[in-house]
Amino acid sequence: MKRQKKAATKDSLIKTSTNDNSANSSNEENRRLYNSNTTEKRPPCNIEMSLFSILHNGPRGITQPEAFTSYRESCLHTTISSLKHEKGISFVSQPDFNTVAYFNQKPFSRYWLATDEDRVMALKLLNAYRSNRGLPKVNFEAWHKPDSKAA
């Protein structure tokens, strides 16, 4: 006869060591750990991954195929638009004709941050997302000219 499993409470999810090889012990190993010393790490959100990739690429910029290869972004133009209109970070975009694979195909746009001030804003936003997840801050070097013109 099969027994029904009871819903686990938060206190019962703390991992305990057991030496028996029953099915119950394997279930304990697969449970999440809730402990005062460890915090549950959430996966990064889409904007966080795109900001990291944009800052990591620097003056080279990023295109849709590169974003898809890097972190499975399927709508980079939408993410860039939301960063521009909701967060106030400016971007420069130009068609990248190296992304054309077939005759009469429209080229993907290449995006990069417009000024060094936008890079600082993007870095602050990225570090805010990282600190909310309990991760340390990252730092990317400036790549713009001192006169703060577009890359």
Q: pLDDT (tens digit, 9 = 90+) per residue, 61-110?
A: 999 999 999 999 999 999 999 999 999 999 999 999 988 888 888 999 99
Q: What is the mean pLDDT of the chain?
A: 78
pLDDT at position 15:
46
Which pLDDT does position 103 carry in this prediction? Answer: 84
Angle at 44 between CA 117 and CA 13, to 5 degrees: 145
Indicate whether this model's pTM tops 0.75.
no
Share of the chain above pLDDT 90, in %: 52
